A and B are shown apart, each in its own frame.
Chain A
Amino acid sequence: QVQLQESGPGLVKPSQTLSLTCSVSGVSISSSDYYWSWIRQAPGTGLEWIGYIHGSGTTHYNPSFESRLIISMDTSKNHFSLKLTSVTDGDTGLYYCVRSHLRPSLRYFDIWGQGTQVTVSS
């Protein structure tokens, strides 16, 4: 059974860097079959896809985040991470890690973590 679990600080100060980790169990994140994504849910913007990393290490980012985003993976720990720099109030929200398949017809988000709330405030 595949499970995803987000972790990270719930509170980040403006202009600082938000760092989150998604621990994956039940499947290897280095598998070539999957994309591993981050999705944010905020009251004003709804659900936003932030970016993904493939099992090969290839990444693709939403242009809205690209200039301040890094998604990486640690295969030895079977987890992947998000770093978002220069955060503002607008980065407050619930962050989910999710899985989708490589095959184009299967790239919907089939497995979700429970989400972690991040608040940006001084």
Chain B
Amino acid sequence: EIVLTQSPGTLSLSPGERATLSCRASQSVGTIYLAWYQQKPGQAPRLLIYGASTRATGIPDRFIGSGSGTDFTLTISRLEPEDFAVYYCQQYSGSLPWTFGQGTKVEI
């Protein structure tokens, strides 16, 4: 099983600041089999990024995904009030089971 470790656990920032979230895999997930999701209280996770760097439909360009192999990053270039949420990475490589990181909470 591929273990995904996210850091930091919590990120305390202000609107307008830049957020940098990390996701590290215990073994390579390739260059494209990594997704990021955003979850707000009381809601299901929402797909933000797939293929490590491709934004899903309707996702603003302030959300930037990068990385490959075992190290991935989600950057939110300028935080908007609606961006304060929990973010999860997930690998969907050929190595089942598909797994998630434990999440990073971005708080004010």
Q: A residues within 8 Å of B by Cβ? A: 46-49, 60, 62-64, 96, 100, 104-110, 112-115
Nearest CB of chain A from residue B12's CB, rounded to whole Å: 21
Determine the residue in chain B with the shortest Cβ distance to A64: B97
Whether B96 lies near A60 (C-beta < 8 A) is: yes
Whether A47 lies near B97 (C-beta < 8 A) is: no
Which among A49, A108, A114 has the greatest number of chain B C-beta atoms within 10 A?
Answer: A108
B70 within 8 A of partner (CB): no
Whether A110 lies near B56 (C-beta < 8 A) is: yes
Nearest CB of chain A from residue B32's CB, rounded to whole Å: 5
Q: Interface digits, B28-69 against A, CB 8 Å rule (1 contact, 0 not)?
A: 000011010100000011110011000010000000000000
CA A86 to CA B32, docked complex, whole Å: 37
Q: Interface digits, B1-24 against A, CB 8 Å rule (1 contact, 0 not)?
A: 100000000000000000000000
**Contacting residues, chain A, for B98 (C-beta < 8 A):** 49, 107
Whether B97 lies near A62 (C-beta < 8 A) is: yes
Q: Which of B1, B32, B45, B96 meets A47, CB within 8 Å?
A: B45
If A48-B100, A49-B98 are given as contacts, then 4 extra A-B residue pairs at C-beta distance below 8 Å, sorted by A number, are A60-B96, A62-B96, A108-B47, A108-B92
Nearest CB of chain B from residue A44's CB, rounded to whole Å: 10
B99 within 8 A of partner (CB): yes
Whether B47 lies near A105 (C-beta < 8 A) is: no
Q: Which of A46, A64, A105, A114 meets B44, CB within 8 Å?
A: A114
With A108-B47, A109-B90, A110-B47 known to touch, is A49 a contact of B100 (CB < 8 Å)?
yes
CA A16 to CA B50, docked complex, whole Å: 38
With A49-B99, A105-B32, A107-B98 known to touch, is A112 a contact of B50 (CB < 8 Å)?
no
Which among B1, B44, B56, B100 has the greatest number of chain A C-beta atoms within 10 A?
Answer: B44
**Contacting residues, chain A, for B94 (C-beta < 8 A):** 104
**Contacting residues, chain B, for A60 (C-beta < 8 A):** 96
CA A60 to CA B95, docked complex, whole Å: 12
The 7 A-B residue pairs with the shortest CB-CB distance in the complex, in nearest-first order: A108-B35, A47-B100, A112-B44, A107-B92, A62-B97, A108-B50, A49-B98
